Amino acid sequence: MGKNTNIDVLNRAVAAWNAQDLNGYLTLYADDAILHFLPPGLPPGVDGARLFYGGVLAAFPGTTLVMDDVIAEGDSIAARFHMNMRHEGEFQGIPPTGKDVVLIGMTILHFADGKVVERWSESDFVGLLRQLGAFPE
């Protein structure tokens, strides 16, 4: 599949995320995708992604994902993104604050047959925790 097809797949996944459709979002991934961003203790692949993202959406319902820059080359996409979030559920032991916060990050997606087969991501979770008041100013 070409880079434009992969961008279309990514755009559909972002639209599903923004519609709070976790199952639709997870169609981005091959069942056995290697997801390097999952925290230790979660199962690999889509099962781990479902638990991870389910926790994010429980703590931050209504989260919107924005792709700020997308660069496609061959079967890979690199993207810079941000997520607009409101903290309405417990997250990392922090009770809901009602604060509007922004999570920024970058990701590299490797595709095969229209699905992500490997993903690397870095997100500024320290910045997110700081916005939630987890660290003294």
The tens digit of pLDDT for each residue in 38-75 reads 999 999 999 999 999 999 999 999 999 999 999 999 99
Read off the pLDDT of residues 104-116 as tens digits, 9 standing for 90 and up: 999 999 999 999 9
What domains does the chain contain, in order, with CATH numbers? 3-131 (3.10.450.50)
Q: Which two tokens stand for residue 94?
A: 């922090």
Q: What is the pTM of this model?
A: 0.92
**How far lies 51's CA from each of 22, 35, 41, 54, 137, in Å?**
10, 13, 11, 5, 31
Taking the CB of residue 62, how many other CB atoms lie within 10 A of it? 11
Decide which of 96 and 2 is more confident.
96
Is residue 28 within 8 A of residue 10, CB to CB? The reply is yes
pLDDT recorded at residue 136: 77
